Amino acid sequence: MRDEYDFSNAKPVKEVAHLNKLRTGKTKVTIMLDNDIIQHFRQLAEKNGRGYQTLINEALRPTIDPENAPVTAQQLKNILHDFAVSH
């Protein structure tokens, strides 16, 4: 094993097909969001010790997969009310 390696001519991962397949399935995008939205998620991230972009991703996921979205407090109240009425 060498003490040093020269990577000056190395290609980025996205340009090497077999390496690109190993990536995480995420795409870098530029998106304009309101300042208060960014501030909210950054504060949440700081409290939770997680990345704010991860939290935004988790907040968006239920919009494309509503069947697996967390149940809201109002939805739970409605479910319990309907159950109580039917029994």
Distance from first CA to last CA of the chain, Å, rounded? 73
Tally of domains in the chain: 1
- Angle at Cα 28 formed by Cα 62 and Cα 42, nearest 5°? 60
Give 16-49 pLDDT, tens digit per residue: 877 766 667 788 889 999 999 999 999 999 999 9
Residue 52, domain member (yes or no) = yes
Residue 33, domain member (yes or no) = yes
Residue 20, domain member (yes or no) = yes
Residue 3, domain member (yes or no) = no
pTM tops 0.85:
no
Q: Of 56 and 14, which is predicted with more confidence? A: 56
Residue span of the structural domain in which 20 resides: 13-86
> In one letter, which amino acid is 63?
T
